[in-house]
Each structure stands twice: as structure tokens, then as C-alpha cells.
Amino acid sequence: MTDLAFAHTEATRLPEDQRRAILADPGFGNHFTDHMVSIEWTKEAGWHNASVVPYGPIQMDPASSVLHYGQEIFEGLKAYRRPDGSIVTFRPDANAKRMNESARRLALPELPEELFVQAIRELVRVDADWVPTSPDQSLYIRPFMIADENFLGVRSAHRARFMVIASPAGPYFTGGVKPVSIWLSQDLSRAGRGGTGAAKCGGNYAASLLPQDEAARNGCQQVLFTDSATEDTIDELGGMNLFLVRADGTLVTPRLNGNILDGITRKSLIQLAKDRGHAVEEREITVSEWREGAADGSIVEAFACGTAAVITPIGRLKSADFTIDFGDRAPGPLTMSLREELTGIQFGTTEDRFGWLDVA
């Protein structure tokens, strides 16, 4: 599809007082804006019917392939309101690229990157009133793609649909920037060699839900997954990447090993830290190394990062066998200063020196 014209059908908008009430305390992922984007794809016709339509239920045949074989991928990014009232999104081109990598792994069609970015802009513009104005709040944007051919044979579908919805969002973890506790999943994995770990597909999250429930029962907010072969090499958290900070200021994060998501927050923090002169090691790192480093004082901070989580300090690592508290469970200084710099760029109070922002 070369024509980027989107057909628009205006929604009946939620009354302003109700929207304002939601924006006063949106939580995360509970409320949705007035519109959504839909673009259809068939093997014969390619991408077509790009439209912005009222947000609402979609009709789906019970035999739709996504319902049976999970052929689905998604993305997550945010729109921020700057002090001058303008609205920007953060690195949407990186999400477009990553969605296409996920599409290749899930045998779904690739969407032209400029069409992805255009779709985000169309939705943010039409629902601009939903972009919060308070600090720490943003509009979380969820692009996704589903296979919706109606048949039960197991093969990649010949029909798909790309959609974008948006949801005003406060902090993912409630209680301010408070260190979270992480549960080490020992028997249950989310990814294995050659699997879909590096793709952002619903199936990975389905696999993470039982360990996530186990984490919650143990007072933890996220699950730490290790490589299923070693059960010691760290992959990532259920919905975030992981960084450790050494006493000499070196940042250490698991390398992209095929099991983990190539996080856009991760990528951005590596660049910000290197730009400040910090060494950044992308390498294999084990739970044993983390435990020993925390005990002997060579690892001084740990944090989770992702679009939803931003940067969240980690205060405790817990498993069926041990509980380790880091420092006095207070947020680390480097963690907090990287968080400040990143959010400063996103909210337009710090110069966007890498050209990461897209004006909607």
C-alpha cells in the first residue's frame, strides 16, 4: 500500500467531565480512548482499508486462526505531552522495526514502517485530548497484529489485521518510584533456544502468567526468567529488561541472546550511559554472579526497564530457596539519574539530542 490516506469515522466522544475523571487517576491499561486504527491485509491484496474508527468490539469468526494457534504480535510505546502542550511519541520507528522482526518469526505479514508510524500519528492526533498533562502520566499506545483467517488447518494465515488502541497511563507499578521485588522462576520458563523469546508475541506472555501468579503469591511484582538450559543465565523479566550496576559505574545487561526482547528502553539507556562515559557490558550474566556481587559489594544497583515500567529500581530478589535485599532497598543513584534523563527527554524538559521524538 503506497497511499497513506486513512479513512476517518468520527466516534461519539466520552463527555469531557468523564474523560477528566479518568485522567485524574488512569491506572495502567484500564481505560481506552475514543478511536482505534485498523488496517487489513490479505495475501492477495496486501495492506488495505486503513481507517480510524470508533473504539469498540471487533467481530471475529470463531474459527479465526489467532483464537486457536496464537498467531499474534504486539508493540508498546507512549505519547507524552511537553510543557508547551505539544505531543510526541518516543522512537516509534524502532517499534515499527521490531514489530516487523516479530512478524517474521510469527509468519505474519510485515507492515511498511512509515505506515506503522503514520497509524500512531493518526490515532494520537484524533485522540489528543486523552494525552495526560500530569507528570508521570502518558498515553500508552498498543499496536498489535492478529491472524484472522477462518480455518482450522495449522499453517500461517492468509488474512491479518493490524490495529492500534491507546490507553491513558499512570505508573505501571503503584506507589511511586519504589523498589520492586523480583521472583526468580525456577521450574517455569518463558523461552528456549530457537523459540519465540525475542519476538513480542502474546504466547510469550501467556507462558509468563503462571510464574507471574507465583511471584504475586510470594509478594513480588515481576518474574525473573533464566535460560531454561542453565537455569542460572539471566534472560529478562516477564515484561522488562534487566540492568545491574557495578561499583565502578559499569552497567551490565544480558546480551541479546535470541531469548529476550530487544527493548527500546534498554537500547536507549545503553546509549545515554555510554554518552556519559559509563562502560556498558552486554554479556551473559548469571544469578550466581548477581548474588555474589550483591554480597561482596561489587554490584550496587539493579533496575528493570521498559516502556510501561520506565526504569524501576529492584530492591529484592526472591526464590523458593533464598531472599536477598539489595542495599537498604532504596533506589540507586545511577538508576534514578538515568530515569530522570530519559523521562526528561520523553516529556520535553531535556534536549532530545539523539532525535528520538516524533511530533504527532
For residue 189, the partner it binds in ligand COI, ligand PLP, none, with Cβ less than 5 to 8 A by kind, is none
Q: Facing residues of 7 across strands? A: 51
Q: Which three cell numbers stand for residue 247?
A: 561499583
Query: What residue ranges bind ligand COI (CB under 6 A)?
Result: 76, 239, 306-308
Distance of alpha carbon 306 from the chain centroid? 5
- Residues in CB range of 224: below 8 A, 6 or more apart: 182, 183, 184, 185, 234, 236, 237, 242, 287, 317
Rounded to a whole number of angstroms, the minimum distance from the CB of residue 150 to ligand COI is 28
Interface map 247-266 toward ligand PLP (x if CB under 6 A)? --------------x-xxxx
Give the dihedral sign, CA 199/201/207/209.
Answer: positive
Among 89, 137, 167, 241, binds ligand PLP (CB under 6 A): 241
Q: Which three cell numbers stand for residue 234?
A: 539471566
For residue 236, the partner it binds in ligand COI, ligand PLP, none, with Cβ less than 5 to 8 A by kind, is ligand PLP
User: Which CB, 197 or 293, lies closer to ligand COI?
Assistant: 197
CA distances from 21 to 90, 277, 324 (A): 26, 44, 40
Rounded to a whole number of angstroms, the minimum distance from the CB of residue 308 to ligand COI is 3
Among 211, 306, 315, 348, binds ligand PLP (CB under 6 A): 306
User: Which CB, 6 or 90, lies closer to ligand COI?
Assistant: 90
Rounded to a whole number of angstroms, the minimum distance from the CB of residue 169 to ligand PLP is 13
Rounded to a whole number of angstroms, the minimum distance from the CB of residue 11 to ligand PLP is 27
Q: With CB under 6 A, what is the number of residues at the site for ligand PLP?
A: 12
Report helix, strand or coil for 118: helix
- Residues in CB range of 205: below 8 A, 6 or more apart: 238, 239
**Residues near ligand PLP, by CB under 6 A:** 76, 236, 239-241, 261, 263-266, 306-307
